[in-house]
Amino acid sequence: MGSGEGDNSPSRQGFSVYLRPEELPVSGPVEKLNREQAGSLFLISTSRPMVQQKVIDNQNSHFCEGSYVDGSWVQTDRTCKDQVRYEMRNVPASYLAVQVDVRHPNTMARR
């Protein structure tokens, strides 16, 4: 999806929903709808789903002591080995799910 073109304004992203005219509960031709007309036709909901993510298990991991020297990590004890354990956790997704439903589904029989 697109975003702002390098300006300092908040980015705005968009998407399109494509429906066949027979799927909308309106009679006659459907042209560009204004916000109020679209709101009367569609129910829009957003959610942040939970997803499984691999994360470091800090309780069961061991990290060697050390410090940064000239921008590089140097361990205090050169024989020490990091022991990193991972676990799967349910965490909120980094994205939002948007669901668009027709408020009054067309009752015409599908062909």
State pTM to two decimals.
0.45
Per-residue pLDDT of the chain (111 residues; tens, 9 = 90+): 444 444 444 556 677 777 777 777 666 666 677 777 777 778 888 899 999 999 999 999 999 999 999 999 999 999 999 999 999 999 999 888 888 888 765 544 444
Kindly write down the DSSP assignment for every residue of 26-95, as one continuous string. --S---PPPHHHHHHHEEEEEE--EEEEEEE-GGG-B---EEEETTEEEESSTT---B--EEEEEEE-SS
Domain boundaries, the chain: 21-102
Single-letter amino acid code for the residue at 44: I
